[in-house]
């Protein structure tokens, strides 16, 4: 069955001015996100994972390539109506619930701001009903609408952030490290909530994270990004079973697992770019097995094919 692509990123490059030149934060990024799936973008700080997310919601301008949402290129000048559609349909959940909510606004205001901007209600009653409904969906109560963000715990604030995104009835949600700032006991709650909402509403997630172990549980496919370049992209199961690129393998080896036997036996793999010799054969992003892409040159591909046998 051919799956419907909701978002395509083609040859994307994002650069920032740096001194007299430019610093390229993301280069040659290529991936598709299918409708209804959770696609994870995993990398370390400075890898460009957040930059990609931010360029999809058009906070960061792109310097090359295309971002195509529902068949329409969105990283160029759009008509006012198209622009509104994109804003409504792609929403974001931020990392730190302590800084992403307006401290001086009530929950009612925070959650309905998008509704007001897009006039998504006919009467005040309808607006209020929508706010209460979306609060209920994330497990908060009607009486919370008059309160301020500081009256909530970290986990509750993240729920407010999720409700604010959900009320717009988006198609794609970009979640940038949504659980990293939360306490261990709250993480499970927020992940479960995101999962439930996805099933109920048929949402698509782009989940940005640095922790492969969290991503394994939540995502269908994973792209690993290192210094602005996607080095490997595969189904979650394939990536964990057959990690090919040495950077993916070093990331996997670094994730601490809650299991003393395997932790104490494990050997750390350290990745440096010197592992690659690209002086003769140039690397490219190749589909080495169905749905499994890796950034490699011909001799490396040879090696990787052996690994896959």
Partner 1 sequence: MEKNVILSVRDLVVKFHVRDRILTAIRNISLDLYENETLAIVGESGSGKTVMTKTFTGMLESNGFIAGGKIFFEGRDLAAITSNKEWEKIRGIKIATVFQDPMSSLNPIRSIGSQITEVIKKHQGKDGTEAKQLAIDLMNRVGIPNAADRFNEYPFQYSGGMRQRIVIAIALACRPQILICDEPTTALDVTIQAQILQLIKDLQKEFHFTTIYITHDLGVVANVAQRVAVMYAGQIVEYGTAEEIFYSPKHPYTWALLSSLPQLGIKGERLYSIPGTPPSLFNEVKGDAFAPRNPYAIGIDFEEEPPFFQISQTHQAKTWLLDPRAPKVEPPVAIRDLHGRITAILKGQVSK
Q: Which residues would be at the binding site for partner 1 (CB under 8 A)?
A: 44-45, 153, 179, 183-189, 191-192, 195, 210-214, 216-218, 236-237, 240-241, 250-251, 253-264, 268, 270-271
CB of 201 or CB of 216, closer to partner 1: 216
Residue pair 218/195 in contact by the 8 Å Cβ criterion: yes
CB of 129 or CB of 241, closer to partner 1: 241
**Nearest CA-CA partner of 287 in 78, 57, 30:** 30
CB of 57 or CB of 160, closer to partner 1: 160
Smallest distance from the beta carbon of 183 to partner 1, in angstroms?
5
CB of 183 or CB of 287, closer to partner 1: 183
Residue pair 95/49 in contact by the 8 Å Cβ criterion: no
Radius of gyration of the chain (CA): 21
Smallest distance from the beta carbon of 222 to partner 1, in angstroms?
12
Place of tokens 């950034």: 295
Smallest distance from the beta carbon of 149 to partner 1, in angstroms?
17
Give every CB contact of residue 285 below 8 A, 6+ residues apart in sequence.
28, 30, 230, 293, 294, 295
Smallest distance from the beta carbon of 236 to partner 1, in angstroms?
7
Place of tokens 């080495």: 288
Q: Which long-range contacts (CB under 8 A, 24 or more apart) does 245-251 make?
A: 245/294, 245/295, 245/296, 246/271, 246/275, 247/271, 248/224, 251/42, 251/44, 251/212, 251/224
CB of 137 or CB of 167, closer to partner 1: 137
Strand order across the 64-69 sheet: 21-34, 5-18, 64-69, 72-73
CB of 104 or CB of 264, closer to partner 1: 264
Q: How many H helices and E strands in the chain? A: 11, 12
Smallest distance from the beta carbon of 65 to partner 1, in angstroms?
27
Phi/psi-derived region of residue 181, left when phi > 0, alpha when psi is between -120 and 50, beta in every other case: alpha
Smallest distance from the beta carbon of 49 to partner 1, in angstroms?
12
Strand partners, 34: 5
Smallest distance from the beta carbon of 272 to partner 1, in angstroms?
11
Place of tokens 């922790």: 211
CB of 189 or CB of 297, closer to partner 1: 189
């Amino acid at each position: 069955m051919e799956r419907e692509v909701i978002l395509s990123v083609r040859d994307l490059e994002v650069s920032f001015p740096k001194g007299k030149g430019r610093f390229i934060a993301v280069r040659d990024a290529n991936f598709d996100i299918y409708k209804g799936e959770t696609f994870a973008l995993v990398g370390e700080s400075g890898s460009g994972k957040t930059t990609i997310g931010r360029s999809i919601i058009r906070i960061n301008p792109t310097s090359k390539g295309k971002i195509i949402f529902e068949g329409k290129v969105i990283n160029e000048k759009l008509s006012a109506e198209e622009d509104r559609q994109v804003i409504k349909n792609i929403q974001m959940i931020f990392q730190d619930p302590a800084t992403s909510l307006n401290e001086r606004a009530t929950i009612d205001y925070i959650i309905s701001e998008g509704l007001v901007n897009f006039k998504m209600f006919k009467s005040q009653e309808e607006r209020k009903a929508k706010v209460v409904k979306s609060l209920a969906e994330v497990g908060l109560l009607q009486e919370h609408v008059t309160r301020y963000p500081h009256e909530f715990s970290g986990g509750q604030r993240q729920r407010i952030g999720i409700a604010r995104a959900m009320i717009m009835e988006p198609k794609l949600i970009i979640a940038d490290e949504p659980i990293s700032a939360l306490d261990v006991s709250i993480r499970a709650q927020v992940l479960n909530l995101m999962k439930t909402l996805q099933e109920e509403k048929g949402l698509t997630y782009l989940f940005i994270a640095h922790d492969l172990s969290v991503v394994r549980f939540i995502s269908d496919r994973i792209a690993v990004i290192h210094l602005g370049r996607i080095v490997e992209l595969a189904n979650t199961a394939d990536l964990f079973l057959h990690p090919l690129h040495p950077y993916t393998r070093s990331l996997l080896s670094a994730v601490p697992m809650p299991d003393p036997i395997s932790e104490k036996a494990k050997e750390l793999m350290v990745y440096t770019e010197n592992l690659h010799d690209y002086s003769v054969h140039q690397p490219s992003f190749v589909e080495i097995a169905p749905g499994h892409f890796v950034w490699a040159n011909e001799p490396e591909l040879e090696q990787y094919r052996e690994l896959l046998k």
